Amino acid sequence: MKIVIDLMGADHGVLPVIEGVSRALDNKNFEVVLVGDKNKAEPFISKELASRVDIIHTEDYIRMEEAATEAIKRKESSIYLAMDILKNGADALISAGHSGATMGLATLRLGRIKGVERPAICTLMPSVGKRPSILLDAGANTDCKPEYLVDFALMGYEYAKSVLKYDNPKVGLLSNGEEDIKGNMLVKETHKILKPYDFFYGNVEGSDIFKGLVDVVVCDGFMGNVVLKTTEGVASAIGAIFKEEIKGSFKAKMGAGLLKNAFVTLKQKTDYAEYGGAPLLGVNKSVIISHGKSNARAIECAIYQAIRALEGNVCARIAEAFERLKSNPSSLGSNTQNV
Amino acid sequence: MKIVIDLMGADHGVLPVIEGVSRALDNKNFEVVLVGDKNKAEPFISKELASRVDIIHTEDYIRMEEAATEAIKRKESSIYLAMDILKNGADALISAGHSGATMGLATLRLGRIKGVERPAICTLMPSVGKRPSILLDAGANTDCKPEYLVDFALMGYEYAKSVLKYDNPKVGLLSNGEEDIKGNMLVKETHKILKPYDFFYGNVEGSDIFKGLVDVVVCDGFMGNVVLKTTEGVASAIGAIFKEEIKGSFKAKMGAGLLKNAFVTLKQKTDYAEYGGAPLLGVNKSVIISHGKSNARAIECAIYQAIRALEGNVCARIAEAFERLKSNPSSLGSNTQNV
């Protein structure tokens, strides 16, 4: 399988991207095409690595502060060229650059899967349960119709089943109470349409996201963005308050030293880097959107995620599901057994 | 000042409510009317406490699983009677019972402050900054118009100024990015209306809530509910993962022991009980909605909060602000100097 990687536009430059690729190549077998500025990349590419990657040179890229629509006009930008390579034969694309540019180009150049109204960004969330849950849409669509949220539910279900290999994944609708009648107008309407689907658990609350109550949490992209950033904010505030408290106390510092393993696990379970990136579901090929501040580990994990998505054949599964399920919600029972 | 307290409908019965009242009476001087089932309450009321409180007896109350609209019909329910006492001369009301019932009755029986389209629930949020921020609406209004959010901004500003005594409080609009153009349709429209107000900081993100970047965070009540519960969820998930990690390790347990002070401070800073309850802003008298699972400390703090609200004369301040500011946004500058 061939993975094309946008070298440009990440917050910390090309180095974490190259290191992530290099680490992933040590563990997995795949072809790589790197797209970006050769002059910036080459100082970090060892001879050994150079023999295993292709580099397509371009200097232009979409800056974080530029409008997403720039990407469509700038045909020599790294993401434009990378998307072309994906369209013309590669299997997956990863970018830690301008996420709006990546989404826009993916939708426009790769096209949506038949039946999907809007592609959605899907992120893994930490959970105290045995397995992480996924949340979508995490930010692709700010204003949504009920039909979009239904699409997100179907796509999330298929991703949980074919890529994460969850048995009978359950899908919850994010609301302000678990009762069926709770929700704003959007959620109430969506609830009615989702009701016949076997995989639909019902409404879930903000606190349920981290309990492993359901495997897939569905919301509009505006809400998804706020929930994600709130989650990051709480975790980092707790860390900051804690650090402030132990500062200046020898006893507390010793305590923190003894707790090092627990802190490491906690960090692993809540660190975005371990989850890789966020797949954009609903376009015709695998696209992974990585955090702008991705470190090498995050890029490495995003590559593993792309490989799992390809092995799980997620785009084909979503296409099949949309054909089958949209016309006949009750067909899901038999489908769950067969797959 | 006279504070009327609904004894009924809290998750843990009448005991935490009575204990909270008793503790607050040890520290502050105020009159209390308790409304609820005398037979349930009396076993917990000492002779000394009995001499300092009035009890209005009623057995009926609105159960959590009942519709909020029940409250309007059930004129012998504890919250109905309590609201009547407030309307007819008491100064503030606190209830840890059915919050929808409290809100509905407050709006209907006390009436809205002139100019306020919708009352909003206002909660204190933990912050790494020097002072907590407030978030509103935390759940009173699921579907909002831009005008409602503008009202929330004005009310939050007045609360921060007159009750929390913040100098020049800054108000932020919760969005999916800090740039002016970010937001869903509701937020974009609200942003335009808020722009002329001096107190308006601009858009803030989910992670900014805990940074102390602004003093007041405004959002619709559906979003507010999800943000609150997400915050609780993350904090308790971190706690659970951590506990699981130190279980079975003597070294880790010893570390946790040495860190006890830090954990206590962390709990204080993030514990809802320390923040008391959530004032319902925009009705004609002070109403505080407490968490159903309030312990004695939470009720005690809610009483202090009610006293501060009365001392700050928040209802009158909001009324004045609506009269002045709605007609002339730029009048705010001089107002800030005068108060």
> pLDDT tens across B291-336, in order?
888 999 999 999 999 999 999 999 999 999 999 876 776 655 434 4
Torsional sign, CA B298, B301, B303, B306: negative
Q: ipTM of the assembly? A: 0.89
**What pLDDT does B71 receive?**
92
Q: Confirm whether B1-116+282-312 and B118-275 share one CATH topology.
A: yes
pLDDT given at position B302: 95
Across the range A13-34, mean pLDDT stands at 96
Average predicted confidence (pLDDT) for chain B: 91
Residue B211 sits at the chain A interface (C-beta within 8 Å)? yes
Distance from B186 to chain A by nearest Cα, in Å?
9
Is B222 within 8 Å of A184 when comparing Cβ atoms?
A: yes
Q: Which residue has the higher pLDDT, B50 or A263?
A: B50
Q: Which residues of A touch B242 (CB under 8 A)?
A: 262, 266
Q: Which A positions 214-233 lie with beta carbon below 8 A of chain B?
A: 219-223, 225-233
Q: What mean pLDDT is reported for chain A?
A: 91
Q: Which residues of A touch B257 (CB under 8 A)?
A: 255
Distances in Å between the alpha carbon of A335 and those of A217, A311, A317, A326, A329?
21, 19, 11, 13, 11
Tell which of A145, A208, A226, A261 to mutate to test the B interface (max B CBs under 10 Å).
A226
Predicted local confidence at residue B153, as pLDDT:
97
**Chain B contact for A183 (CB, 8 A cutoff):** yes
Check residue A338 and give its pLDDT: 36
Q: Which of A43, A56, A40 is nearest to A6 (CA)?
A: A56
Asked if the model's pLDDT at residue B278 lies above 70, the reply is: yes
The more confidently predicted of residues B259 and A89 is: A89
Chain A nearest-CA distance from B206, in A, is 4
Q: Which candidate from B187, B207, B232 shows the least CB-CB separation from A233?
A: B207
Residue B265 has pLDDT above 90, yes or no: no
The string of pLDDT tens digits covering residues B81-91 is: 999 999 999 99
C-alpha of A145 from chain center? 22
Report percent pLDDT > 90 for chain B: 75
User: How far does A328 lie from chain B, in Å, by closest CA?
Assistant: 32
Find tokens 């010793």 and name the residue.
A254
Q: What is the assigned CATH class of domain A1-116+282-312?
A: alpha beta
Residue window 247-276, chain B: list those with CB within 8 Å of chain A: 249, 251-252, 254-259, 261-262, 265-266, 269-270
Give pLDDT tens digits for A243-267: 887 787 888 888 888 878 777 777 7
Class of domain B118-275: alpha beta
B183 to chain A, any CB pair closer than 8 A? The answer is: yes
Mean local confidence (pLDDT), A101-116? 96
CB A138 within 8 A of CB A122: yes
**DSSP assignment string, A179-221:** STT-S-HHHHHHHHHHTT-TTEEEEE-GGGGGTTS-SEEE--H
Residues of B in contact with A229 (CB under 8 A): 205-207
Mean pLDDT, rounded, for B247-252: 80
Q: Give the start-to-end residue ranges of the domains of chain A.
A: 1-116+282-312, 118-275
pTM score, two decimals? 0.91
Contact A245 B265 (CB under 8 A): yes
